[in-house]
Amino acid sequence: MDKNARIYVAGHRGMVGSALVRELLAHGYGNLVTRTHAELDLTNQSAVERFFDEAKVDVVLLAAARVGGIFANASQPASFIYENLAIETNVIHAAYQAGVQRLVFFGSSCIYPKACPQPIREEYLLTSALEPTNDAYAIAKIAGLKLCESYNRQYGTKYVAVMPTNLYGPNDNYDLKSSHVLPALIRKAHEAKLNGDETLTVWGTGTPRREFLHVDDLAAATRFILERDVTEGLYNVGVGVDLSIRELAECIAGIVGYRGQLVFDTSKPDGTPQKLLDVSRLTEMGWCAQIGLEDGIRQTYQDFVAGYGAQAVRVPAHA
């Protein structure tokens, strides 16, 4: 990778995009191109094509997306599938038209079937039915990685898709209607502690198992892929270890200092029973995650407390 390459980070204000910017700047990549949603609506095809004509970028990191947890995905499926499909098709096609040879597309582990063998290997994609609570989002992300595959095959581009497991870290979304489980539990535990609540309610049975990756590790994996000149394919990015939602809630409560009782609302959906990624493809190439879960949650909680209030619970439009 040329340190002077013009790298467009799409979604630079979101959790993933901001981590990519931090990682690249820290390692000498200073020629970064960014646009806010107000400056460039990625669902607007003509605006995206005009941007690529003018910006003359060398690499695209497509981290822009509409994201959310179980409630948001289940209650707004049309918004999730439309906006993500629009962003992906506009950016990938305009990048190709502008002669951009390298692109990294960020998907999600929810692309894999609900009843997958564990741990989940990349080749399990499209082998059975998806989890119905977020199938619209998953289908959009599957379309994005298939776009990358198809443009590579037809046009000789070097577009790579990475599928991170559940992410957390600085600049996360803590809105309880749209956030993922880990940031939601951080906010719930913090407010329960402040209010002196005797109980803290957790959605579901607490039995589903999930894997969590600090977003800075994802950014490091992305830089690794770029610098190793990986030019095609699908790559899982995770830690290779999971825990139950109950264990996660207990861990967060301990870090936050909440001493009350956890109550599990079994009327709420659990989602996929287990979602553990097989990360051997990247591990065999020489990359592995460096940030332990407890240390990562502790850092993330400090970030949350520092911005607690309106900034901490903002909902990014296209993070």
The annotation places the binding site for substrate at 188, 203, 210, 270
- Binding site for NADP(+): residue ranges? 11-17, 141, 164-167, 180
CB 211 within 8 A of CB 276: yes
Q: Is the dihedral of CA 272, 276, 281, 287 positive or negative?
A: positive
> Residues 26, 22, 112, CA angle at the centre, nearest 5°?
125
- Binding site: residue ranges? 11-17, 141, 164-167, 180, 188, 203, 210, 270
> Residues 133, 109, 268, CA angle at the centre, nearest 5°?
30
Helical segments of the chain, H only: 15-26, 45-55, 70-75, 77-97, 135-155, 181-195, 215-227, 245-256, 280-283, 293-306
Active-site residue, from 8, 29, 112, 137: 137
**Distance between CA atoms of residues 219 and 124, nearest Å:** 24
**Tokens 């695209």 found at:** 60
Q: What are the structure tokens assigned to 42, written together?
A: 């990625």
Of 141, 140, 38, 68, the residue nearest 315 (C-alpha):
68
Pairing of strands 243-244, 209-210: antiparallel
CB 241 within 8 A of CB 307: no
* 137 catalytically annotated: yes
What backbone torsions phi and psi does residue 297 show, to the nearest 5 degrees? Answer: -65, -40
**Distance between CA atoms of residues 203 and 223, nearest Å:** 35
> Residues 278, 283, 285, CA angle at the centre, nearest 5°?
130
**Distance between CA atoms of residues 145 and 319, nearest Å:** 18
List, by residue number, the catalytic residues.
137
